Amino acid sequence: MATRSKALDPVADNSLAAKGYAHPEVLVTTEWLAAHLDDPSIRIIESDEDILLYDTGHIPGAQKIDWHQDLNDAVQRDYVSSEQFEKLLRAKGIDKNTTVVFYGDKNNWWAAYAFWVFKLFGFENARLLDGGRIKWEQEDRPFTTDVPRYASTSYKAPARSDERIRAFFHEVRAHSDSGKKLIDVRSPDEFTGAKIHMPDYPQEGTLRGGHIKGAKSVPWARAANPDGTFKDSQSLRAIYETEKGLRKTDDIIAYCRIGERSSHTWFVLTYLLGYESVRNYDGSWTEWGNAVRAPIEKGGEA
């Protein structure tokens, strides 16, 4: 369950509170960030699908986190160890009292993923820039190619706490078999099995197309406005509750292809709508679609 952190309250924004979110304190606006670029208690992190985008220009003071190299283990399919995470944050000038503001391209798609990984390590002072890179750029706010350097910290990382917000294959299988709520956030063609990857991407990575039995299709980007900001709570409830029948007390697992798009939906349900039990299945379709005897469904309403 999402909890309000007192450390984050001072940066809450009234314009975000007006959108009716359960936890508006996990977001900051572009206006707020522009006014706090020189705040020494803040570190800005850019995390993009396009890993070269940062080098072309980024928000002043922002540092880059590469989702693949910095957050994923180089050998086994898992996230970095506590020791590796600790080393990363120390090098970025982050400690437990630092407020970390994430942003990125594609409606904060990968920024939400980085946020989620930080939460696996129990990092509390994390936020998303509402609208991400696209809104900052549309408002003609400054970019720079200067790469900042910050003094190293003595941050101590705890052990990962996966079970609260992360789901594994055997848990998803039991969840599906028991008829509990599953949300497939991929594109409609991926859900039906017509494609095994997003449109306009190479069709590779899995042997079979389709979706997990009982899953409902809610493409992740439906939660965003054209400028990259999140839709207000009323609009979000219309999608997830009126249209798909979810409830705040439901036990929900979200998935996509590798867990990045579903981290965006996890954020929406957990922090913006205040759902009590939402887990991200990061193995997602690249695991399920290749697993021996994993049951799938094709077609259906997407």
Task: Please answer whether residues 219 and 262 qualify as being in contact, where contact means their C-beta atoms are separated by less than 8 angstroms.
Answer: no
Q: Tell me, yes or no, if 214 is annotated catalytic.
A: no
The pTM is what?
A: 0.93
Residues of the domain holding 249:
169-297
Listed residue (217, 218, 198) closest to 206, CA to CA: 198
Same domain, 269 and 174: yes
Q: Answer whether residue 267 is part of any domain.
A: yes
Q: Answer whether residue 147 is part of any domain.
A: no
- Which pairs from 197-206 meet CB under 8 Å and 24+ separation? 197/257, 198/257, 205/257, 205/285, 205/286, 205/289, 206/257, 206/285, 206/286, 206/289, 206/290
Q: Answer whether residue 156 is part of any domain.
A: no
The structure tokens listed for 13 are: 């924004």
Same domain, 134 and 175: no
Rounded CA gap, 213 and 301, in Å? Answer: 13
Task: Please answer whether residues 168 and 283 qualify as being in contact, where contact means their C-beta atoms are separated by less than 8 angstroms.
Answer: yes
Q: Answer whether residue 119 is part of any domain.
A: yes
Summarised one tens digit per residue, pLDDT across range 38-61 is 999 999 999 999 989 999 999 999
Same domain, 116 and 184: no
pLDDT of residue 13: 67
Q: Which of 26, 28, 256, 268 is catalytic?
A: 256
Q: 3-class SS at 181?
A: strand
pLDDT of residue 71: 95
Considering its fold, how many domains does the chain have in total?
A: 2
For the domain that residue 83 is a member of, what is the CATH number? 3.40.250.10
Q: Answer whether residue 184 is part of any domain.
A: yes
pLDDT of residue 3: 39
Same domain, 120 and 178: no
Q: Answer whether residue 164 is part of any domain.
A: no
Beta bridge partners of 127: 101
Same domain, 184 and 292: yes
Same domain, 65 and 127: yes
pLDDT of residue 158: 93
Q: Answer whether residue 143 is part of any domain.
A: no
Same domain, 214 and 117: no
Q: 3-class SS at 97?
A: coil
Residues of the chain with pLDDT below 50 are 1-11
Same domain, 196 and 89: no
Q: At 283, which amino acid appears?
A: G
The structure tokens listed for 51 are: 């890993």
